[in-house]
Amino acid sequence: MSLYQLQGSTAIVTGGSSGIGLACVELLLEAGANVAFCGRNPERLRSAEAQLRERFPEGRLLAQVCDVLNANSVKAFATASENAFGPAQVLINNAGQGRVSTFADTTDEAWSEELNLKFFSVIYPVRAFMAQLKSQRNAAIVCVNSLLASQPEPHMVATSAARAGLKNLVRSMATEFATDGIRVNGILIGLVESGQWRRRFEAREERELDWSQWTAQLAQRKHIPLGRLGLPVEAARAILFLASPLSAYTTGSHIDVSGGLSRHA
């Protein structure tokens, strides 16, 4: 039996074609779960699907283009997943990147976009999959969040505010959904290797530094005690713990996956 005890269950991953989301899909397939994942970019989604099918030829997998900010698109994804694998037991909400801006240079439009993304990328999937989750034992929702929710940065003011709101939303949903047997938790990530950091690395001024050297310097500047950026799979392992029966008595909580960057006890 897999460590995560998810054999034969159906798991949903939004934003699953790269980074932490893709790492979650891989771990779920390794655990023997049926996995439906989505993304907005068709090319990236198909590329991820092809890699996964090559690695897991026996895996039960559904990949579908879906805009998590479009309620009808999310409903169609929920229907397709249920038709393929039956009701979902696990919903992993993983969508959205950070916006670099201060209060002075964040426009009304930018505020609206950021708040809309961080909230409705969770609200629409939870609504669409709620009936399925209610029908399952050990149902769980996990939201990927940022340490910014507890430790805001002035150069990411809109994202920090939105992330704090999402942390509060997780706690509220956990309380409300507990009577239906649905647990709701999240993770707070620090600096994790991603396409964003790879692009910044390619644009670096210190051309003599390789990736490991550059990220080590970045970690030092950011005062990360473990001295490096996190790996997507390290965040994914925390997510799967919260999604699985291993955390059956945990709800309304967040796991810090920041390499010690958090200044809060």
32: confidence class by pLDDT, cuts 50, 70, 90: very high
Distance (Å, whole) CA 218 – CA 205:
13
Residue range 215-239, pLDDT digits in tens: 999 999 999 999 999 999 999 999 9
2: confidence class by pLDDT, cuts 50, 70, 90: confident
Residues 146, 163 contacting (CB under 8 angstroms): yes
Phi-psi region of 189 (alpha: psi -120 to 50; beta: other; left: phi over 0): beta
206: confidence class by pLDDT, cuts 50, 70, 90: confident
Q: How far is CA 53 from CA 5, 163, 233, 263, in A?
A: 22, 34, 19, 41
DSSP result, 177-204: HGGGTEEEEEEEE-SB--HHHHHHHHT-
Amino acid residing at 207: R
* pLDDT (0 to 100) of residue 205: 81
Distance (Å, whole) CA 118 – CA 27:
24
What average pLDDT score do residues 37-43 get? 96
The CATH code for residues 10-191+231-257 is: 3.40.50.720
Residues 142, 235 contacting (CB under 8 angstroms): no
What average pLDDT score do residues 155-168 get? 96
Collapsing DSSP to helix, strand or coil, 85 comes out as helix
Checking if the pLDDT of 137 tops 80, the result is yes
241: confidence class by pLDDT, cuts 50, 70, 90: very high
Q: Which tokens sit at 108?
A: 């009304």
Other residues' Cβ atoms within 10 Å of the Cβ of residue 225: 10
What average pLDDT score do residues 112-132 get? 97
82: confidence class by pLDDT, cuts 50, 70, 90: very high
Closest to 133 in 3D by CA, of 193, 194, 92: 92
What average pLDDT score do residues 251-255 get? 98
Amino acid residing at 83: N
98: confidence class by pLDDT, cuts 50, 70, 90: confident
What average pLDDT score do residues 72-97 get? 95
Percent of the chain with pLDDT over 90: 88
In this prediction the pTM is 0.95
* pLDDT (0 to 100) of residue 197: 83
* pLDDT (0 to 100) of residue 111: 97
Q: How far is CA 124 from CA 40, 47, 73, 224, in A?
A: 15, 25, 9, 34
* Domain locations along the chain: 10-191+231-257, 193-229
What average pLDDT score do residues 182-186 get? 98
DSSP result, 102-124: -TTT--HHHHHHHHHHHHHHHHH
Checking if the pLDDT of 265 tops 70, the result is no
Dihedral angle sign, alpha carbons of residues 66, 234, 6, 123: negative
Q: Which tokens sit at 105?
A: 């240079």
* Mean pLDDT rounded to a whole number for the chain: 95
Collapsing DSSP to helix, strand or coil, 51 comes out as helix
Distance (Å, whole) CA 8 – CA 24:
16
Checking if the pLDDT of 96 tops 80, the result is no
Distance (Å, whole) CA 28 – CA 51:
15
